[in-house]
Structure 1
Amino acid sequence: MTRGTPPAHPPEDPPRVLLWRWRRNPLRRRSDLAQAWIGLGLLLAVLAALPAAVLWAGHTAHRHHTATAQKQKADWRHTSAVLVRDAPRHPEPGSHEARKTLYPATVRFTDPRGQTRTAKADVEPGLTAGSTVRVWVNAEGRITGPPLTTEQIRDRVIGSALLAAMAVPLLGAAAYGYAHRRLERHNLARWDTAWAETAPRWTTSR
């Protein structure tokens, strides 16, 4: 009675050694140690730069948007405009949704130069032609939204700080990836040189 051949098992992956680039061993190359130092240096740089970048981005954004809001308040006018045509009616008049819904409608207003102009403005539904609404007009005489509020400035400052918080680690990762590729190319070039020197000794002529 013949014994069956046991099924072949796939080779197991060798265990990964933590921080192997820092451990002395015959297979460790100089480039491995260099990559370890580069990774450590970039990690420390990211940790040091992260809070500074967040504070700088937040401060810069706050200063910029605050100055923008002040300029808007100084240059823009909150003036009256008259509807040229009836505004569309909401399908559910008097509902909570209707009180929050605005429709674009043609209005007539006087710009900062004293000229009468017409433009589109968002108005409440159901207003009839001749109704008066309040609109914001910028220095060029175009209808615009209201100047930036404190809440809008705060949201933009937070957004800028978050972008900085994401950008610093991404830049660190990109720098590490670039260094890794350069070291790999260096290793491949050394392997090619070593093989060119070794191959002739392995080749037998007949």
Structure 2
Amino acid sequence: MTVRVISGLWRWRRNPLRRRTDTAETWFALLAAVLIVVGAPAVGVAVGTGVHDRLAQWVQDQRQARHLVTATVVRRVPHPPIDPDPETASARDAHHRVVATWRAPDGRVRTGPSISPRAVTPGDRFRLWTDARGRIVPRPMDLSTATSHAVLAGAGAAAATAALVEAVRRLVVWRLMHRRYTRWDQAWERAGQDWGRTGTGR
């Protein structure tokens, strides 16, 4: 794209039919091409790096604040009535609701509802994540997931930047063409309604 714009600019350089709008359009196209080729990736890298640093810090904070403990099943909780929707029913059946007891990191014993990753019976044990007070919390994010989110954020930022530059370029080109057509109309008005007739200009 950049090479094509530069060749077009060189072609207009010595063309006697060149107008100001032609030169402005070509120079702006060159600027837009440079921003898309160089600027958009730079924005993507900057955004991706920033997101990755923040998520990595968040992962570290979660690992420090969340604890994996062993819970013991007290009793199973029966499923609600049969759901006619197969999708929601499948999602519900993939988890096993139980009442369990576990020891919090601060030493206190807690009992409450929980979800077991597999079918269990009273007395079975399973692992769950809690905060420092023993309240159940989601599993902390891992670093690979944080990296994936950062890559997606960087790619999205680069694509959005390129799209914004292209939208601005199209808007500027539209404005230049509008100005060009306006000047043509003014030139036709100055030429008069009888331009081109036999005897005109004598």
Structure 2: gaps of 5 or more residues:
1-6, 80-92, 198-202
Match status 1:43 vs 2:33: yes
**Deviation string for 1:55-102 (max 9, x for gaps)?**
3123202211111111211222323334442799xxxxxxxxxxxxx9
Instruction: Give 1:10-29 correspondences, 5 Å limit.
Output: 19=8, 22-23=11-12, 24-29=14-19
Instruction: Return the offset for 1:176.
Output: 1.4
Report the Cα distance in structure 1 between the residues aligned to 2:161 and 2:176, rounded to whole angstroms: 23
Distance of 2:63 and 2:194 partners within structure 1: 83
Q: 127, 140, 165: which is aligned to 1:172?
A: 165
Q: Distance in 1 between matches of 2:105 and 2:179?
A: 67
Report the alpha carbon displacement of residue 123 of structure 1 after superposing the two structures with TM: 0.8
The reply on whether 1:32 has 2:25 as its aligned counterpart is: no
- Which residue in 1 is equivalent to 2:178? 185
Mapped pair 1:85 → 2:76: yes
Give distance in 1, aligned partners of 2:194 and 2:64.
84
Q: TM-score scaled to structure 1, two decimals? A: 0.64
Corresponding residue of 2:62: 72
Shift of 1:26: 4.5
Identity %: 24
Shift, 1:172, TM fit: 2.5
Q: Give the letter aligned to residue 22 of structure 1.
A: R
Q: CA deviation at 1:129?
A: 4.1
How far residue 43 of structure 1 moved from its aligned partner, in angstroms, is 1.8
How many residue pairs get aligned? The number is 171
**Paired letter, 1:19:** G
The alignment yields a C-alpha RMSD, in angstroms, of 3.5
1:39 deviation in Å? 0.9
CA deviation vs aligned residue, 1:21-58 (integer Å, no higher than 9, x gap): 83344543321111100011222233332453233123
Cα distance in 1 between the residues matched to 2:129 and 2:171: 50
1:98-130 residue CA offsets vs partner (Å, 9 max, x unmatched): xxxx921223356789664324x3512x32244
